Amino acid sequence: RRCTWTKNAKQDGVFFPHTYQNWKRSEKIQDNVLQLIGNTPMVKLNSIPKKAGVKCNVYAKLEYFNPGGSIKDRIANRIIQDAEKQGLLKPGMTIIEPSSGNTGVGVALASAIKGYKCIIVMCEKMSNEKVAVMQALGARLIKTPITADSYSAEGIFGVANRLHKEIPDSLILDQFSNPGNPLAHYDTTAEEIWDQCDHKVDALVLGAGTGGTLTGISRKFRELSPQTKIVGVDPVGSVFAVPDSLNKTDVTFFEVEGLGYDFVPTSLDQTGADHWVKSNDQESLTMARRLIREEGLLCGTSSGAAVSAAMKIAVHLKEGQNLVVIIPDSIRNYLTKFVSDNWMEARGFQISKNVNKHWWWEN
């Protein structure tokens, strides 16, 4: 039997009554895609907090709604604009940027629109999906070995500095020391969170890579709302957490991308966090898969790290209190990695069989 509400509906004996919904006005037309950066949506988490016995509200700030797919569009656009205003960046120049990929995408996106040449230096640990996106945007990719220290000649900074010396009219924006990185979050991300939560934020949980997000947001919240507890998330194997004793481990490699380093960047103010939580790969990847499967949030691995840490904090908060967690990037970067059951199993990560292998009614 055809199921239709067209002219055949009556003769088929199927009739759907018409229902109407209110149309919401969207933004007017923008001049280019860079103007769509920021003003990302915030959404309540339901299933995951409920199963964890959490009473407070948990709100996720969905940074993958940015046009390049991550929170790093904000800072890429900002540090390019600042360099233009300061006369450091002129038409035809080459931008060189060490990145874990998302800043690279943001810089490549702005470069494509503004006509700069763009070279991204990235550790080979980072996903091929990121490489493909940057190349599609016209950037050149230089990969550095996983085993190289960040500051060694073969590491991301060593290679970027060498290229800068070799290539005339080139500029390293350097998100790791550029004040525009934390300032982008001080000026926009923090203000958006404050506004979206109607000026009531009891806790904020977020991971750190360059630390720009943590530094910028925490500085703004110290002014707006000093009682808000800020929690930094740092993978086991990285060195950001305070006290330093939290960082003691034999682990040197972790799968989560975009968080943690083997040095503390200038852009990270470790005291911006009132409290640090160490995250591990298993819980981060499992939580990222749950965010996708249970909340419909098509996020990446650092989101899993942040939300699993957020659940540990949220159980101590009361009903009516608000906890905000940042969702930095999307599933797009990891389609051949944690999203794949085979990839997870090959690396010995446990996957929840009933959620991912079977239809739910088969349990």
Residues annotated as part of the active site: 72
Tell me which amino acid residue 192 is: E
Widest CA span in the chain: 77
* 68 is an interface residue for ligand PMP by CB under 6 A: no
Give the one residue of 69, 211, 235, 272 binding ligand PMP; rule: CB under 6 A: 211
- Give the footprint of ligand PMP on residues 281-340 (CB under 6 A): 300, 302, 328-329
* 212 is an interface residue for ligand PMP by CB under 6 A: yes
Taking the complex as a whole, the smallest distance from the CB of residue 185 to ligand PMP amounts, in Å, to 7
* 208 is an interface residue for ligand PMP by CB under 6 A: yes
**Which residues partner with 325 through β-bridges?**
60, 205
* 209 is an interface residue for ligand PMP by CB under 6 A: yes
* 255 is an interface residue for ligand PMP by CB under 6 A: no
Half-sphere exposure of 123 (CA within 13 A, CB side): 22
Q: Which is nearer to ligand PMP, 123 or 313 (CB)?
A: 123
Taking the complex as a whole, the smallest distance from the CB of residue 1 to ligand PMP amounts, in Å, to 48
Cα–Cα distance between 309 and 25 in angstroms, integer?
Answer: 36
* 270 is an interface residue for ligand PMP by CB under 6 A: no
Taking the complex as a whole, the smallest distance from the CB of residue 261 to ligand PMP amounts, in Å, to 9
34: number of Cβ within 10 Å: 19
**For ligand PMP, which stretch binds (CB under 6 A), given 165-173, 188-196, 206-214, 278-286?**
206-214
Taking the complex as a whole, the smallest distance from the CB of residue 170 to ligand PMP amounts, in Å, to 22
Whether the Cβ atoms of residue 214 and residue 230 lie closer than 8 Å to each other? yes
- Give the footprint of ligand PMP on residues 85-104 (CB under 6 A): 100, 102
Q: Which is nearer to ligand PMP, 70 or 218 (CB)?
A: 70
Give the one residue of 57, 144, 213, 286 binding ligand PMP; rule: CB under 6 A: 213
| Residue 88 CB burial class (10 angstroms; 0-12, 13-18, ≥19) | exposed
Cα–Cα distance between 307 and 65 in angstroms, integer?
Answer: 18
| CA–CA distances in Å: residue 20 to residues 6, 17, 23 | 16, 10, 9
Radius of gyration of the chain (CA): 22
260: number of Cβ within 10 Å: 25
Residues that bind ligand PMP (CB under 6 A): 70, 72, 100, 102, 207-214, 257-259, 300, 302, 328-329
